[in-house]
Amino acid sequence: MRLVGRSRRSSGLQEILVRSGAERAVRCAVKKGRLDKTTDTSKTYVVLKVQNLKSTTIDRRGREPCWEQDFMFEICADGKGFIIELWKKGLLWDSILGVLWIPLATVEYATDEGPGSWWRLHSEVIKNGSEIQGTKTPTSHEILLDIYFALPFAMILSEIVAKF
């Protein structure tokens, strides 16, 4: 059963789940892009990197590619964030167009996918040793993503019961 509408949760719930050491499910809907004119005829795709996991969208052509692909990752409570990369297909090798670091501390809990938000991609990754801290130097590329932690099933069920 799926709850109607979208319900965001406070960071208090996130704090409880992080302190308990529970694994969490982060969901990311890669919706579409707004790319500059140099990508008119190029095929582009998005790579998501979360902890030791990596997933890739299908490639799409044009300045406004529409990927509409959903991903879900089970992550450890100590995870710091994840990387979104935009790549352009090439004849011999692919080239990166932009990157985005999303700290998990900024991700909210929700019961369902929403409209998403536009994110500006950057050209550089900021690191402290081997640990990623963020990204810098904005590009002209943007990507529409909806990112949220899926609520544990027991909490969704208790909400449904409370409504009746």
* Domains of the chain and CATH, by start: 11-163 (2.60.40.150)
Q: Across the chain, what does the average pLDDT equal?
A: 81
Residues 162 and 17: their CA atoms lie apart, in Å, by 21
Q: What pLDDT is stored for residue 37 in this prediction?
A: 81
> What average pLDDT does range 122-138 have in this prediction?
90
Q: Indicate the pLDDT class of residue 12, thresholds 50, 70 and 90.
A: very low
Cα→Cα distances 151→26, 46, 122, Å? 9, 25, 30
CB 94 within 8 A of CB 47: no
- pLDDT confidence bin for 162, thresholds 50/70/90: low
The CA dihedral of 143, 133, 113, 35, to the nearest 10 degrees, is: 0
Q: Are 77 and 121 in contact (CB under 8 A)?
A: no
pTM of the model: 0.78
DSSP-derived secondary structure letter, 111: S
Choose the weakest-confidence range: 1-5, 11-15, 58-62, 76-80: 1-5
